Structure 1
């Protein structure tokens, strides 16, 4: 069985010729129905009798048009478009080919070429994805949307900064606002800590895919797959969900737009120009905002959970990294060499893993199985020069320090060590 591919007009001609052969219509009527002359009707009828419907298929199908541009001309035009007008639309690209290169093509020709080469999409392909609305959560504290909004909040009176926004999905209530210099892990630590101390623990936070919340590096094999912020929430038994698109967390996105209008103008009227003054102004602004725009929840139940006794919030919101203790009881963190003070606990820790707790206030504690270890930092001022005289009791730490420095020179510094995002050098304190 042969399958023929025919156009609508060709199928209509088959039906007309069948009626003509059955003498249901006359040749003049067939000519009128097919839009051809009587002589052409008899030619088509003769071909149909000889070969059937296949005789009515156009012989030009699948062949290039007689008016098609040569392949070399098309290649030259597309090379010019790709080199100079890759982000232009077909109309503008055709205009520039004519004006600057003397190549005159129809817009539709250029459009077809650009479609074929993937430089343009037709209207259907360019339609924006439709995002269906979803119902709010039922209870306060069930889902808290968090986001940052970098903006000139103080206009020309102060620096550009970031506003960290916590908004309840069930009510659109502003739960917490905090100005910060950047969207850093330590800033989110401080804002989240203040939120938990005021309201308790929500069921989940809903965020974007920023590196603070999610490991975005493709093929990352080191670590446990958690960011520092994700690890802190996991320790406190709080989930974090990352939205696939900004539209998915529309409540906080729309709130950001309102805040960039109303909050900026309110602070202008109040003469506020610093982050500290702005943070002091935010509680009163939030109260007025929620009175105007917050919605009542479907359920009166508040599902925030109080902080439990086992929730050590100071340790949860500290930057934590593991290190291996060397044979000389030293370890390195953030380009600083730490020497564990020898005692009955530390003397057995050679080649053991310890955890460095880097607190937002600058304190640094080294722990092993929850126990803080005594340590001192290696005195860089007293580090040895070539052929320097070194006391025997300091020889071990000095050699360990030299070996560590040589490794740093031979190999680029690990990506894991200097990740103290948002914490200035002046905050670092040893001990």
Structure 2
């Protein structure tokens, strides 16, 4: 191979490998380090009899914020969607969860986009977040999907519910594990069209849980279908439960200062105190999962035993270190783990390091060619003067 072609071949291979690693391979090398958590027998709920069945494996993401036509630059849109697609499909290939939950804000401009753009949103979402046939996906609505409470309309709510099969309240039961998905926007308690529906469905689920547990009058339980096995549910929604700020959150993916100190507004950054008490009293969860803040948080439930875990945004546009949750559930136990994704800053650093090496490589070859020419001229002169 001629020297120039050899140099061009080596340079091209180096550039292609850098691009391949930063845009594909890094997702595997990073996510391969995360695996399903192990159940700790010491955490078992003694009041619930074990079933002996295999644990239910779930994956949870939040706040994908697919960009729209108003606030999204085409390159930013292309970049973020590729990152989320690659991260999600890598997770599907490595972990193979049974259930996938998406906790709201699927879209960035769903609350004001036209019908045609909304349909384009839906197609993009299902293309990016494709799941295998054996995996089921469930979606909860967020404020960017249908609007905050003051803005949401029957039309905006209906088209989201139809497109993503996401009613105001939903009960999903798998092998004695019960997941209650709630539309946070519907918990205003003012009797609006959405709130009435959510309150009715919550009351129905409350009675189903009470009948299954045996804490409700048996004659009144005839109207409600009992669960095959009672266990404390897992509550899932977009908004976190009421808290004053993120100051009590000390996770590795928690909000940075001074964002951490900003006070939350009820029904904006978190649920109201009234809605929080209502949910905890009616559902009595062992674990509450949420999104919305774009940062991670783990804290005890305000009432009863259990934890609340806030999942950070899955989009690199909102966070340098996004992640997702893997969790396993049995009726009397659970365990979870947050799986880190490649940091945006790490990818940028790798590109900068690769560019620096490339420039050094060019300079080295340029100096070598200069040296070779100089030696050739010197040899010619030496022959001439002999």
Who wins on radius of gyration, i.e. which is larger? Answer: 1
Instruction: Name the TM-score class by shorter chain.
Output: under 0.3
**Bigger relative contact order (CA 8 A; separation at least 6):** 2
Structure-1-length-normalised TM-score = 0.20
